[in-house]
Structure 1
Amino acid sequence: MAKRAELTKARKAGRRMAGGRWKLEDAKARFSEMVRHAREDGPQRVSVRGQDAVVVMSVEEFERLAPKKPRAPFVEFMESLHLNGLDLRREADRGRDVEL
């Protein structure tokens, strides 16, 4: 019985390819495990038809790679476009002539 459990464990361990790579079917079936590996071991690659398709990574790793940039206020953004020569004024709206 113990030998059977070891064989099952070895078979499951073999599904995750070396270097944090997963086939899509295995990643779907063992998502919780893949997330745990992403948090503990680093980014995990998922392949579709043998080609890398996506990477699952921890939030900390993601935030390190893509730091949030403060957005400029709207007025500063518009001024940065340098639209000085463009006339953006609008004529007063007097309604339409309608025949009754």
Structure 2
Amino acid sequence: MRSWPVQDAKARFSELLDACVSKGPQVVTRRGTETAVLVPIDEWRRLQAAARPSLKQLLLADSARTDMLVPPRRKARRRPVTELE
């Protein structure tokens, strides 16, 4: 990942965008501190799809989301019954 000072990122935004699309995520720094990352839209969508809600989000949600917390149950297998004589 290449690092871009904010002044360069502002002045050469088209170049920053082209580098992001062709080479992957690009970091923008402000006063030497990493501040933001520009990522291609396909990678952003992949990251959004893979994101799971935090425990805080689950607890504060209006509706229950138990489908994500409880694994699906398997069908019960019955044991064969033997006849008593």
TM-score (structure 1 length as normaliser): 0.50
State the 1:68 CA deviation. 7.4
Matched, 1:20 2:5: no
Q: How does 1:18-57 map to 2 (within 5 A)?
A: 19-57=1-39
Aligned length: 55
User: Aligned residue for 2:44?
Assistant: 62
Separation (CA, whole Å) in 2 of partners of 1:32 and 1:67: 27
State the 1:63 CA deviation. 0.7
Separation (CA, whole Å) in 2 of partners of 1:35 and 1:41: 10
Q: Give the letter aligned to residue 24 of structure 1.
A: V
Q: Structure 2: which 5+ runs fail to align?
A: 52-61, 66-85
When the two chains are superposed, the root-mean-square deviation of aligned CA atoms in Å is 2.1
Q: Give the letter aligned to residue 62 of structure 1.
A: W
- Identical positions, percent: 35
When Rg is computed on C-alpha atoms for both structures, the one with the higher figure is 1
Q: Give the letter aligned to residue 56 of structure 1.
A: L
Separation (CA, whole Å) in 2 of partners of 1:37 and 1:56: 10
TM-score (structure 2 length as normaliser): 0.58
Structure 1 residue ranges, 4+ long, deviating more than 6 angstroms after superposition: none
